[in-house]
Amino acid sequence: MGGFPKEPGNPGCDQCPVERVSWNDIQDFLKKASAKYGKRYRLPTEAEWEYAARGGNRSNGHAYSGSNSPGSVAWYDANSGSKTHPVGGKTANELGIHDMSGNVLEWCADLWKAYPGCTASECKDCRVLRGGSWFLEAARLRSADRYSGIPASGGIFSGFRVAQD
């Protein structure tokens, strides 16, 4: 398919995650990939993302994806050098998936809604981002943490993970 159009956050790093992409741009990319390869590609739902991050049915109940020690599984403000890193440079979680905590926030398919009883402000038409990023402190990389983003915005810390039906 060729590379995803992006502004590199770490120039020269071909193995780094795609970043600085909007939810809307990703939808266009997924449509083209689905048409080209004859399969349905999409963003994971928030529930699918969290299930995978927590290690699925092999979960050991870690706070971060694969460990209770963020430095072993995540790139974040204290160890990233203010940039993304090649995928797979840290320990994988119980399902063998890398970088679900840290490196880049990952867009999910879902519309953002605050959990019941939560004081977070509502954001009409916003989408969910999960996983934390190289910019955030360790406490904000937990598998349970979630963020909202404007679909047309390709924030510096946002990337994505593809699901296939």
pLDDT by residue (tens digit) across 16-67? 998 889 999 999 999 999 999 999 999 999 999 999 999 999 999 999 999 9
Q: Express as a percent the part of the chain with pLDDT over 70.
A: 92
The pLDDT of residue 7 is 54
Distance CA 123, CA 26 (A): 20
Q: What are phi and psi of 52, to 5 degrees?
A: -65, -40
Q: How confident is the model at residue 1 (pLDDT cuts 50, 70, 90)?
A: very low
- pTM of this structure: 0.91
What's the CA gap between 139 and 69, in Å, rounded? 11
Q: How far apart are CA 151 and CA 25, in angstroms?
A: 9
In angstroms, the CA 129 to CA 105 distance is 6
- Mean pLDDT score across all residues of the chain: 91
Domain ranges of the chain: 23-164
Query: Which top CATH class is 23-164?
Result: alpha beta
pLDDT confidence of residue 4: 57
Would the pLDDT of 153 be above 60?
A: yes
